[in-house]
C-alpha cells in the first residue's frame, strides 16, 4: 500500500472488525487522542479487540514511528470520544506514546506523522487550514478525560509543534509542493514569472450613466417583447414586435404570389403619381417658355 496524502491512503489498513457503527452524520473535523500506551496497529487491535478487549475504536492511529494505520473506515463511526455527536461527525486520530507513565511522552515522528495526517484530512475533506476548535478538536472537549494529554491545545507541550507542522503541511498540499508521499517536489527549472496583469477597465460609468443604460435596455426589451396591436385597420391581432417581424417574411411571400407578374396596388398608385408629376413638369416648362 502506497501512502498517499492527497487521496488520504495511510501507510497501513488494519481494520478492527468491530467496536464501530456503520455510517456517520458527517466528516466535519478531527479529534486528537493519545493512546496512553505504546501501540502499533496490531497492538491497538489487540487491546481494543471486539472479542473481549476495550469497547473502543478509532479511525486512525499514528504509531510511535509516525506511521498511520486505519482501523475504522472514514464512512463509519468509530467509538472514540464517549460522545455520540463527536463520534458521528468527527474523525478520530490516536497518537501512540513512545514511553509509559508517569510522563507518557510522544515522539517527534508521531507528532509529525499525526499532524501531517490531520493536514491531509483537512485538505481532502476541504475543512480549511487546520485550526483548533474549528476543524481540529481535542478529546477532552467532549468528555471528562485528560486525553490527548501532552497534545492538548491549552497546556500540552506538543501542541505548538503539532499545529506548526499541520498548517505548514496543509499549505504544501494546497500548493502541491510535495508529492503523494510528502516529499518536496524538486523544480529543475525556475518557476515561470507570471506576466504582469494589465488593469482593464471595461466600463467606468457614473451612476446616472448606469441608470440610463438600465432604462434603455428595459425600453428596448419592452419595445421588442411587449405585445403591440397590429397596425392593419380592423385587425385585433396583437403580438410582440419580434413576432411581427418574423411574420413579415410570410406576408412578403403572400404578396409575391398575389402580384406575380402584375403591379401591386401600391405600385399602380406610385406609377399614377409619377405620371401626374411628369405632366406637371411639362406644364411648368411650357409656362416658362411663354
Residues near Zn ion (CB under 5 A) are 33, 139, 147
Q: Least distance in Å: CB of 154 to Zn ion?
A: 16
Q: Which is nearer to Zn ion, 56 or 119 (CB)?
A: 56
Q: How far is the CB of 147 from Zn ion (least distance, A)?
A: 3
Q: Which is nearer to Zn ion, 151 or 173 (CB)?
A: 151
**Contact status, residue 90 vs residue 65, Cβ threshold 8 Å:** no
Using the minimum distance from each CB to Zn ion, give the nearer residue, 31 or 173.
31
Of 148, 54, 160, which Cα lies nearest the Cα of 96?
148
Identify each DSSP E strand in the chain by its residue range: 12-13, 20-21, 29-34, 60-62, 68-70, 77-78, 90-95, 136-138, 227-229, 238-240
Cβ at position 95, least distance to Zn ion in Å: 9
In the bound state with Zn ion, the residue whose beta carbon lies nearer, of 5 and 142, is 142
Residue 228, phi then psi, degrees to nearest 5: -125, 150
CB 62 within 8 A of CB 73: no
Q: How near is the Cβ of 73 to Zn ion at its closest, in Å?
A: 19
Amino acid at each position: 500500500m502506497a501512502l498517499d496524502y492527497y487521496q488520504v491512503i495511510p501507510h497501513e489498513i488494519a481494520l478492527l472488525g468491530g467496536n464501530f457503527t456503520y455510517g456517520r452524520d458527517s466528516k466535519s473535523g478531527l479529534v486528537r487522542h493519545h493512546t496512553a500506551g505504546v501501540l502499533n496497529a496490531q497492538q491497538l487491535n489487540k487491546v481494543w479487540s471486539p472479542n473481549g478487549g476495550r469497547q473502543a475504536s478509532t479511525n486512525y492511529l499514528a504509531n510511535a514511528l509516525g506511521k498511520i494505520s486505519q482501523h475504522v473506515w472514514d464512512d463509519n463511526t468509530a467509538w472514540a470520544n464517549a460522545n455520540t455527536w463527536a463520534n458521528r461527525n468527527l474523525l478520530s486520530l490516536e497518537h501512540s506514546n513512545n514511553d509509559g507513565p508517569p510522563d507518557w511522552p510522544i515522539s517527534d515522528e508521531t507528532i509529525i506523522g499525526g499532524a501531517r495526517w490531520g493536514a491531509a484530512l483537512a485538505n481532502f475533506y476541504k475543512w480549511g487550514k487546520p485550526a483548533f476548535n474549528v476543524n481540529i478538536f481535542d478529546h477532552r472537549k467532549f468528555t471528562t478525560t485528560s486525553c490527548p494529554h501532552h497534545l492538548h491545545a491549552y497546556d500540552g507541550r506538543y501542541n505548538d509543534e503539532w499545529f506548526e507542522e499541520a498548517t505548514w503541511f496543509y499549505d504544501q498540499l494546497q500548493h502541491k509542493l510535495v508529492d503523494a508521499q510528502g516529499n518536496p517536489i524538486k523544480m529543475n527549472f525556475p518557476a515561470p514569472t507570471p506576466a504582469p496583469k494589465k488593469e482593464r477597465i471595461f466600463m467606468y460609468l457614473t451612476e446616472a450613466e448606469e441608470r440610463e443604460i438600465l432604462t434603455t435596455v428595459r425600453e428596448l426589451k419592452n419595445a421588442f417583447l411587449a405585445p403591440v396591436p397590429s397596425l392593419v385597420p380592423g385587425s385585433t391581432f396583437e403580438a410582440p414586435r419580434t413576432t411581427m417581424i418574423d411574420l413579415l417574411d410570410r406576408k412578403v411571400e403572400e404578396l409575391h404570389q398575389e402580384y406575380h407578374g402584375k403591379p401591386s396596388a401600391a405600385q399602380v398608385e406610385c406609377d399614377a403619381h409619377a405620371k401626374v408629376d411628369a405632366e406637371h413638369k411639362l406644364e411648368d416648362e411650357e409656362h416658362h417658355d411663354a
